[in-house]
Structure 1
Amino acid sequence: MSYAVIYDGNCNLCANFVSILEKFDRGRQFCYIPMQDDQTLQQFNVTPEDCEMGMILIDRTDPTQRWQGSDAAEEITRLLPMGRALIAVYRAIAPIKTLGDSTYIQIRDNRYKLFGKRDRTYHTAYPVGCAADKPNTSCSL
């Protein structure tokens, strides 16, 4: 698991996105941290204020490499099979990229109104620190 995805575990859209991603990836590339996990976020030097700006993707082999918001969504897609070509086209067409960025901001700022808020924080089968072959285990970095 080379990348950590920081997501809003109380947002229905975010939790569903992560659920789909974890089923597809099965912990091969991505592990996950809900924005509500302050202790783990501190280990990555991520503040609650950072989380307000949207999803974060961190390269765990080089934690200085970070993407946030629509850039994080694009990078996650790029890392998936056949995603590199899709994102190359998306990024090459400036109006589409601009529309995607502004749409992400609108969804981020209105996610609870648009998609609802969960009663409990969603925790994945592949949290940071767990081996991909041991889902749902209690692990740490």
Structure 2
Amino acid sequence: MRIQDKYDIILFDGVCNLCNNAVDFVIRRDKYDRFKFGALQDKATKSILKEYKINQNYIDSIILIRGNQVFYKSKAALEIARNLGSPWPAMYIFSIVPAFIRDPVYDWIARNRYRWFGKKETCRIPSAKEKQKFL
């Protein structure tokens, strides 16, 4: 059994401060141990990207993999919120806003994430407590 058949896999930009803070946010609210994480720059993640035919240099969006499904950008964020502890599933109501409206807002934040939130020199190294949450 593949790991993505048992867990939802969240792939994120490992050097982005905003992305790492989002990972911390999800870890704290993942009450059902539903998610595993991988930095888009990591070797383990590259093999998953290859399996799903996703450009291995892609770091412009959070990616959610659930079984054979791949979600990008705002859809990935909404699917993640939908599966967190309360009150975050209520955010899924924003899925009624069409992606052609949601995704440009997502893209604008993504384009400015390093300038606004900063960037690390290397990918995140999970703590001993977090290690089981990462690929």
- Using structure 2 for the length normalisation, give the TM-score: 0.75
Q: In the superposition, relative to structure 1, how do residues 67 and 54 fare at CA in structure 2: closer, same or farther (>3 Å)?
A: same
CA distance in 2, matches of 1:136, 1:79: 21
Residues 1:24 and 2:37 are matched in the alignment: no
Match of 2:131 in 1: 136
CA distance in 2, matches of 1:77, 1:92: 14
Match of 1:115 in 2: 117
Residues 1:75 and 2:63 are matched in the alignment: no
Cα shift at 1:26? 6.0
Contact 1:32 1:124 in 2 (8 A): no
Contact 2:49 2:56 in 1 (8 A): no
Deviations 1:3-32 (A, max 9, x none): 110001100000011012112216700010
Contact 2:29 2:84 in 1 (8 A): no
Partner amino acid for 1:41? Answer: K
Partner amino acid for 2:65? Answer: I
Please report the RMSD computed on the Cα atoms of aligned residues, expressed in angstroms.
2.7
Indicate which of 32, 39, 58 corresponds to 2:65: 58
Match of 1:130 in 2: none
Q: In the superposition, relative to structure 1, how do residues 135 and 17 fare at CA in structure 2: closer, same or farther (>3 Å)?
A: closer
CA distance in 1, matches of 2:59, 2:104: 16
Cα shift at 1:99? 4.4
Indicate the percent of aligned positions where both proteins have the same amino acid.
28
Residues 1:33 and 2:38 are matched in the alignment: yes
CA distance in 2, matches of 1:98, 1:4: 24
Count of aligned pairs between the two proteins: 125
SS at match of 1:48: coil
